[in-house]
Structure 1
């Protein structure tokens, strides 16, 4: 790729260049405009601790590399994701020091999270149903997106009643020959806690899969409730730990 040297130079000076897009506790995403006017974003993953530095050098691929390889595989499988460009790794004498993932930056998109939060969102039900069609297609070809949460799907309105969906944050994925029903429902259990949405999702998934709608709903609602319980229990524990550290 002609721009690869330019992108390498950006990564080498990542902290001093670019426009902040996402500033998290663990990861940072910045936007960059290349000399050819292409806009990309580069994700810098949290620096690994001492053990993970060794793990990511000798036993497991880095998050940057996994993101790139998973995105490349999704593109071949015709599952939407921003076009992957490259990954970069920096090592020291112990192991992996830093890893980065560069991809196309998508314009005119919104997060599925907005559908969850805004019950008055235009065409909300149609978007939910098309999202389930997208997820069902993904399941049918054996893709299990382990971070299938509302912030990790971007949506583009094609202005013709159809929507295009793009997966992001790709370092945790599994690829199977087939995916069983329970795993499919568990994969959807992080999307929303709202019962009306789960009813819509279950109705659409049942139509696509020929499963009994009541069975789909009861299974998804149970798994969602279990996920919500674990999620808030974990938050309570973290809050208590922070209190005792003060």
Structure 2
């Protein structure tokens, strides 16, 4: 098995430690967060908590694609994190990525970053509409998203769990995570507004975000709301259709 890695200049002094935790990932570290799709663990590095994300081995088609044609999720996460920081957008400090391959296939990969503490994620705003200062946080988040768009950042996984929020006594700070799906190019109006489609099912939240985005852009509120609400409903319909299909496939497999 061949190993490819890249370590941030600030952490190259710890390369032996990083090698060790990757090679012994299955037996070391503290399990953290949701383990359904990928595995997350925390490790201590001289009193600093670091987060290691192990991406599961992809299907055979993607094993070929990642080996010869595409950058891996770990590689992209590392690259995009550095790019975001260069552009003045907060994300947990990237540390390294590792890839394991055979001569003809890609196997698994790891992305390492500093563990970022937060007070909440955007998801809490969708669960508790009475969260303290809910509207104030939501408007600040909308301005943050506008700033992403102005910097030609298209966060394709702009979804409830992927923005960490620090309350910071009302001077809110937002950190992007799960970075492997991003694009850096100017965004047209519809693409910008559609970027809110995965965030909430609540019309009241769409109304607030539409109002704040209209203030940021100088565009008509109704025009923004109509597109944002339409795209939100379209995403929800597509999502639920996909879930129903998965349930049917699981049922057929059990028969």
The TM-score normalised by the length of structure 2 is 0.93
Give unpaired runs (5+ residues) of structure 1: none
Partner of 1:164: 173
Residue 21 in 1 paired to residue 32 in 2?
A: yes
What value does the CA root-mean-square deviation take over the aligned residues?
Answer: 1.0
Instruction: Please state how far the C-alpha of 1:26 moved relative to its aligned partner.
Output: 2.2
> Which of 223, 227, 240 pairs up with 1:219?
227
Measure the CA separation in 1 of the matches of 2:143 and 2:34. Answer: 32
Partner of 2:51: 41
Partner of 1:91: 101
Give unpaired runs (5+ residues) of structure 2: 1-11
CA displacement 1:17-48 (0-9 Å, x = unmatched): 111112433211111111x1111001000112
Measure the CA separation in 1 of the matches of 2:243 and 2:72. Answer: 27
Q: Counterpart of 2:26 in 1: which secondary structure?
A: helix
Measure the CA separation in 1 of the matches of 2:122 and 2:227. Answer: 22
Measure the CA separation in 1 of the matches of 2:115 and 2:121. Answer: 14
Partner of 1:143: 153
Measure the CA separation in 1 of the matches of 2:34 and 2:125. Answer: 23
Measure the CA separation in 2 of the matches of 1:121 and 1:244. Answer: 42
Residue 200 in 1 paired to residue 211 in 2?
A: no
Measure the CA separation in 2 of the matches of 1:63 and 1:193. Answer: 28
Partner of 2:65: 55
Report the count of equivalent residues: 243
Instruction: Please state how far the C-alpha of 1:100 moved relative to its aligned partner.
Output: 0.5
Partner of 2:144: 134
Measure the CA separation in 1 of the matches of 2:238 and 2:250. Answer: 18
Measure the CA separation in 1 of the matches of 2:78 and 2:220. Answer: 37
Residue 186 in 1 paired to residue 194 in 2?
A: yes
Q: Which runs of 4+ in 1 moved over 2 A?
A: 22-26
Q: Counterpart of 1:60 in 2: which secondary structure?
A: coil
CA displacement 1:122-174 (0-9 Å, x = unmatched): 11101000000100000011000000001100001112x11100000000000
Measure the CA separation in 1 of the matches of 2:118 and 2:156. Answer: 25
Residue 81 in 1 paired to residue 86 in 2?
A: no
Partner of 1:174: 183
Residue 241 in 1 paired to residue 249 in 2?
A: yes
Measure the CA separation in 1 of the matches of 2:86 and 2:164. Answer: 19
Measure the CA separation in 1 of the matches of 2:15 and 2:141. Answer: 34
Measure the CA separation in 1 of the matches of 2:34 and 2:104. Answer: 27
CA displacement 1:97-141 (0-9 Å, x = unmatched): 111100010124321100111111111101000000100000011
The TM-score normalised by the length of structure 1 is 0.96
> Which of 103, 106, 110 pairs up with 2:116?
106
Measure the CA separation in 1 of the matches of 2:175 and 2:120. Answer: 10
